[in-house]
Amino acid sequence: MKLSTPMIIPKIVKFGGLTYKVILTENLDVGENWGRTDMGKQQIHLNKSAHPEKQMQTLIHELMHLAYSATAHILTEEQQEQIIKPWIINLFSILKQNNLLK
Ligand SMILES: [Zn+2]
């Protein structure tokens, strides 16, 4: 039985006609966070030293922020976190169990 599927972190992600670069970054200056998105520079930074599964979870988390940014801006950053965080583990689990992640 395979213990775990290796995760392939994409180098770019396209969304809304824009291409975002996915960058594995050594030192994220964002406290306890595992990633950050720079909308202006179209860059998604992921913690380089994190496990690839954690990097993928973080990428999906950042993509949820990105998807939200294209909708009505009624939630604060903090409110977005409160919604995204509980979802991410289950969403990641569904994607993984159904081999939707490469
Ligand atoms: Zn977040």
What CATH code is carried by the domain that includes residue 32? Answer: 1.10.10.2910
The rounded Å distance from CA 63 to ligand 1 centre is 9
Q: Where are the beta strands (DSSP E) in the chain?
A: 12-15, 18-25, 35-38, 43-47
The rounded Å distance from CA 90 to ligand 1 centre is 16
Please check whether residue 74 lies inside any domain of the structure: yes
Spans in the chain with pLDDT lower than 70: 1-5, 29-32
pLDDT of residue 16: 87
Please check whether residue 5 lies inside any domain of the structure: no
- Number of domains making up the chain: 1
Rounded Cα distance between 79 and 32, Å, is 17
Contact of 21 with 43, CB cutoff 8 Å: yes
pLDDT of residue 47: 93
